[in-house]
Structure 1
Amino acid sequence: MKKSRILAVAAIALVGGAAALGYTQTALTAAPVEAPADAVAVTAPPAIRVVAAERRELVERLVVTGSIVARQEAAVGVDLSGMIVQELMADQGDTVRKGQVLALLDRSMLETQLAQADANRAQAEASVAQVAAQITDAEIGVRQAAESLDRARELQRKGIAAQSQLDNAVNAYDSAVAKLESARKALAASQAQLGVIDAQKQNVELQIQKTQVKAPADGLILARNATLGGIVGASGGALFRIAIDGDLELSASVPETSLPRLKPGMAVEVRVAGATEPTRGEVRMIEPEVNQTLRMGVVRIALAQDDAVRVGNFARGSIETTRRDSVAVPLAALVYKGTDGFLQKVTDGRVATVPVSIGVRTDGFAEIVSGVAAGDEVVSRAGTFVADGDLVRPVRQQDTGAVAR
C-alpha cells in the first residue's frame, strides 16, 4: 500500500509538469514579437525642409565702376602770341556764365597798332579826297578840250582854220581824256588802300577784343592754367577748362557680354568714393565701340547735381536692368546637370526631379520661367540628402518639433 501511494504521487507530479510545460509553450506562442527600436528609425521617411515657390518682385542689378568726367568740356584759350596776363577774374571751381570775362591780357601794344591804323586811314582818306579833286579837274579839262575840238572842226569845214589847228585840238582832247582816266584809276587805288587799312584796323580791334578771355558757355571751371604775369601763346594750351553747364557723368566700364542688357534711360544708383549718400543717375549713352583688347565697353551715366561729386572721382554704379513680378525659389534649391537647372519637387511626400527654365538671379532668389508653379513645394537645399523618387516627410517653415535636414 505504501508503494501504491508513492506511484500515485509520481503520476500527479508528471501531469502537473506536463501542464506547466504546455502553458509555457502556449504563452510563448501567443506573445507578440516586438521589433527593435533601431528598425523603426530606419523605416520612417526622413524629415526634409521644403519651401514653396512663390511670386515676388525681382530686381536685377548690374554693378559697374569708373571715373567721374565732364559730359562736355570746353577749352578756353587765345590765338594771340606774346601777350601777358594782366588780370585774373575767375578761378578753378567757379561757376561762370557764357560771355563772362575770365582773364584780361595786356593790350598796350595792340592799342598802339590801332592808333597807327587810324593815322594811316586818315592819310588814305586825304589821298582819296585829293584824287577826287584831280578827277574833277580832269573832267573839266576833257570838256574844254572837246569844245575846242568842235570849234576847230567847224573852222576846218569852213576853210578858215589850218589842218594843224585841228590836229592840235584832237591831241588836246585825247590828252585830257587820258588825264581823266589816270585820275580815276588813282582814285580806285586810293580807295583800295583805304579798304586795306580798314581791314588792318578791324584785325587789330579783333585782337583787342580777344585780350578779354571770355567763357564760351555756362559751366564749371575745372582747371585754370593761366597765371598772373604769364605769357600766353597760340601753342601754349588752354588757359581754362570748363565743364559745360556743370554736367558731370560716370564713365564706367562694362563687360561686352552685359552691354545688350543696357538701354538709355535705365535708373542707376551711384556711390562716389568718400560720399556717405548715393547719387541718382541715369544711363545716357552706351558707346558703340568695344575695346578689342580688354573686351570691355563704356557706358555714360548722367548724374544729378551733387556737390560731393567731382571730376576724377572713382565711383561705383548699380544699374537696374530688370524689375518684374515672377515665380521664384531660393538659389539653394536649384541643382544643376551641366548648364541645365532642376528642382526637387515634393508631391504627396515623394521627391520628383523636374527640369526648369531659369531667368533672373538676384538677392538669393532665382526666377523660374517654367517647370514649377507658384505654391509648388521644393526641397530647400537640393541635391544633398535625397534623390529622385525618395519618400520624405516635408518640414515647412511653420512646422515645429520636427528635425529638418
Structure 2
Amino acid sequence: MRHLISIAAFIATCAVLVWVFLPDPVPVETAPITRGDVTVRVEAEGEARVREVVVISAPITGLLQRVTLHPGDAVTAGQVLAQIGPVTPALLDSRARAVAESTAAAAAAAVELARSQLVQAEASLTFARAEADRTRALFERAALSQRMLDDAVLAERTAEATLASARANLAVREKELDSAKAMLNGDYAEDTACCIHVTSPVTGRILGVRTEDEQVLQAGTPIMEVGDLQDLEIMVSVLSREAVNIAEGAEATITGWGGPDLAARVERVEPGATTKISALGIEEQRVEVRLSLLAPAPPALGHGFRVTARITIDMAQNILRVPVSALFRSKGDWAVYSVEDGKAALQIVSLGRRNDEFAEVLDGLTEGATVIVHPADTVENGSAVEEKPLIGG
C-alpha cells in the first residue's frame, strides 16, 4: 500500500512540474472563414475640375482697365468682364524730339524734291510729244527715215514712264512726311475712343483672375478663367499596370474631399502614359483616368479640389473569403494559422481576388474554419493558443 502511495505521489509531483513548466497559451485574435462579397478596387488621388474651362484673353493690344470681378463671382453669357482701351503714346524726350524734327524736315525736303522732279518729268513729256508729232508729220511726207520715227516714239514713251514714276515717288514722299509728322506730334494726340468690352461667352463663375491691375496687355494675354461649377469631372492618375484593368463605364466612388461619398463612373482611360516622379523619387508610368459624377456636383466641391477615387475593377459575390490580416508568406506561398483543438496549425492557401479587407480562398480552407488574425512572432505551428474573437470581424 505504501508503495502505491509513493508511486501516486511521484506521478502527481511530475504532473505538477509539467504543468508549471508548460508555456502559457498564446492569446490570439481569431476570425471565422465565411462567405461573402469581395470587391476589388483601384484607389488613386486626383482632382475635381470644371469640364470646360474658358480662358478669357485680351482681343487686342491695349491698356486693360482694372478688373473689378473676383474668383467666385457669378457671370452670365454676354456680361462685360473687362475693358481694354488704346495705349497713350509715350512722350518724346529732347533727343527723340530732335531726331523726329530732323526726320520730318528731311521728309519735307524730299517732298519738294519729288515735286520738282514731277515738274521736270511733265516738261520732258511735253517736249517729247511735240517732237514725236513733228517726226510723224515729216515721216508721212517721206522726209525722215523709219529709224528717226522710232526714236521719237521711244523718247515719248520714256517721258511718259518717267512722269508716272515721278508721280509715284511724290506720293511716297508725302506719306513719309505724314508719318514723320505723326511721330513728332504723337505725344499731343488725345485718345477719344474707349473702350473695347471683353464679354463672357458662357454662364458660370469666375474660377481665377490672372490679370487684375491696370496695365498694358499684348493681344492674347489671359485675363481670367470662367467655368460652370455644376459641370465637374474627376481626373485621377493611376499606375499603368493598374490602368489596364480599368474599363470604361466601371463604377467608382469619390471620397476624401471633405464631404459625403459621391457616385461616379469611368468615362475615359487615356491611351497614353506619362512619366512622373513619386514622393520617394521613383519614376512611375501613370495614366490619366477621367470620371464623371452620376449626380450634380455639390456646391462645396470646387475646381481643383483634391479627391480620392476608388474605381471598381472586379467583384465576386458569395465566395469563400479570409481576412487579409490573417495572411502571411511562408516559403513563397500564402499561409494562415488555423485553430484546431486549441493549437495553431499552419495552412498553405491559394488565393484569388483580394482587396484591403478580404481575399478569395481557392484552396486550403473550408467554410467555418477559424484563423488567427495578426499572428505574432510567438505563434508557431502547434503552439497552444487562447482564442479571442476579433471585435467587428
TM (norm. structure 2) is 0.53
CA offsets per residue over residues 137-190 of structure 1, 9 Å max, x none? x999998876654322121x2xxx478xx95x6665334312332355467779
SS at match of 2:162: helix
Q: Could you tell me which runs of 5 or more consecutive residues in structure 2 were left unpaired when the two chains were aligned.
A: 1-29, 90-123, 179-192, 383-393
* Deviation of 1:223 (Å): 1.1
Cα distance, 1:386–1:96 mapped onto 2, change above 3 Å: same
* Deviation of 1:70 (Å): 4.6
Correspondence for 1:381: 371
Correspondence for 1:232: 216
Correspondence for 1:223: 208
Correspondence for 1:302: 291
- The answer on 1:360 being equivalent to 2:353 is yes
Aligned mates of 1:359, 1:186 — CA distance in 2: 95
Q: Is the 8 A contact 2:131 2:152 kept in 1?
A: yes
Aligned mates of 1:106, 1:281 — CA distance in 2: 47
Length, aligned pairs only: 291
* Deviation of 1:218 (Å): 7.5
Cα distance, 1:85–1:256 mapped onto 2, change above 3 Å: same
CA offsets per residue over residues 171-219 of structure 1, 9 Å max, x none? 653343123323554677799999999xxxxxxxxxx999333557776
Q: Is the 8 A contact 2:71 2:205 kept in 1?
A: no
Q: Is the 8 A contact 1:66 1:316 kept in 2?
A: yes
* Deviation of 1:240 (Å): 0.8
Correspondence for 2:136: 150
Correspondence for 2:198: 213
Aligned mates of 2:267, 2:128 — CA distance in 1: 82
RMSD: 5.4
Between the aligned residues of both structures, percent identity stands at 17
Aligned mates of 2:70, 2:328 — CA distance in 1: 64
- The answer on 1:77 being equivalent to 2:57 is yes
Q: How does 1:97-108 map to 2 (within 5 A)?
A: 97=77, 101-107=80-86
Aligned mates of 1:250, 1:194 — CA distance in 2: 64
Correspondence for 1:278: 262
Correspondence for 2:161: 181
TM (norm. structure 1) is 0.51
Correspondence for 1:395: none
Correspondence for 1:317: 309
Cα distance, 1:209–1:250 mapped onto 2, change above 3 Å: farther
Q: Could you tell me which runs of 5 or more consecutive residues in structure 1 were left unpaired when the two chains were aligned.
A: 1-48, 111-137, 198-207, 389-405
* Deviation of 1:313 (Å): 2.1
Q: How does 1:386-397 map to 2 (within 5 A)?
A: none
Aligned mates of 1:84, 1:52 — CA distance in 2: 71
Q: How does 1:5-404 map to 2 (within 5 A)?
A: 54=35, 56-70=36-50, 73-78=53-58, 83-85=63-65, 92-95=72-75, 97=77, 101-107=80-86, 148-155=134-141, 157=142, 161=143, 173-185=153-165, 211-215=196-200, 220-227=205-212, 230-234=214-218, 238-243=222-227, 248-252=232-236, 254=238, 258-271=242-255, 273-276=257-260, 278=262, 280-282=264-266, 284-285=268-269, 288-292=273-277, 293-295=281-283, 297=286, 299-304=288-293, 305-306=296-297, 307-325=299-317, 327-331=319-323, 336-342=329-335, 355-362=348-355, 364-368=357-361, 370-371=362-363, 376-377=366-367, 379-381=369-371
Give the aligned residue type for 1:232.
V
* Deviation of 1:361 (Å): 2.4
* Deviation of 1:59 (Å): 1.2
